[in-house]
Structure 1
Amino acid sequence: MRSRLVLIVISSVIYLSCINNAQKYVQLGEEFLQKRKYERAVMAFRTAIDINPSLVDAYDGLAKAYQALGQISEAIASLEKALRIKPENLEMKTRLASLYLLVSSPQLSETEKIIDEILSANPNYVDAHILKANLLIKTGASEDEILKVFNYAIQLEPQRQESYFALARFLTQRQRYKEAEDILKRALNINEKSVNAYLEYGVFLNTVGRIDEAEKMFERSIDINSQFYPAYEATANFYLSNGELNKAEQIYAKLIENLGSTAENLTELARFYLKTGRENDAINIFEKILQQEPEYTVARYHLAEIYLMRGESEKARKETENLLAYDKKDSGALILRARTFLQENDPLRAIKDLDLALKIQPSSKAGIFYMIQAYLDLGQTEKAELYLGDLQKYYPDYPYSKLLRAQIETLRGNNERALQELTQLLEVSKPSIDQTQEIRDLRKKALSARGLIFLEQRKFQEAEKSLLEAASLEPMLASDMTNLARLHFLKKNFSEAIRLYEKALELDKMNLDALSGLINTLKFNKKFAQAHERLQKAIDENTEIRLLPAFHVLKSQLFQAEGRISEASEELEKAIKINQNYLPAYISYAELLTAQGRIDEALAKYQEVLQKRPSPGLYVLAGILEELRKNWQEAEKNYRKALEIDPDNPIAANNLAWMIATQTQGNLDEALSLAQNAIEKIRNEPAFFDTLGMVYLKKGLYSQAIESFRRATLLDETKSKSSTDNPNPIYRLRLAHALIQAGNKTQAKKELELTIKMERFLKPEDLDQAKNLLRSL
Structure 2
Amino acid sequence: MIDVYNLAFDYYRLNQFTKAEKIIDEFLLEESGNDQLYILLGNIRFQLNKVESSIECFEKAIELNPNSPEIYNNLGIIHRKANNFGKASRAFNKALSLAPQRADIHFNVGNLLKHEKEYDEAIDEYKKAIEIDPHFHQSYTNLSTTLELAHRYNELEEIFSEGLKLDPNNYKLRFNYGLYLEKNGSLDEAEKEFSEVLKYQPNWVPCLNNLAIIKEQKGLNNEALQMFEKILSLDPQNIQATNNIGFVYAKIGEKDEAKKFLKKTLSLDPSHYKSSKNLCNIYDKNEESIILAEELKRHTTLFPSDYESVVELGEAYIKNEDYSSAEKVLKNIEEIDNPSIPKNLAIVYAQQENFSESRKYLDKTLEMNPNDSSTLKKVAKINLLKENYIQAEKLYSKLVNIEPGSISAKRNLSKSLIKLDKLEEAEEIVKDILKDSPKSTEDLELLSDIYMGTGREEDSIIITNDIMEIQSNSNDPQSLDTLLQTLQTYEKRMKSLKINDKIAENVKNLVLINDRLNSNKAKYDQREEEDFTNILNFGNINSGVKVNEDLTDIIEVGDDLDDLDDSLLLSEEEDFDVEIEEEDENLNQIEDEDWEDEDLVDENFQEENQENSELRDMHPSQEEDDNLLELDQVKNMLEYINNLSEYLPVKQTDYMIKENVNLKLGTIISKLDGRLGLKNIDSSIPDKDISVDDLTETMSYIKNLTSFMPKNMTSNVLLNKISHITEELSLS
TM over 0.5: no
- Higher relative contact order structure (alpha carbons within 8 Å, sequence separation ≥ 6): 2
* Structure label with greater radius of gyration: 2
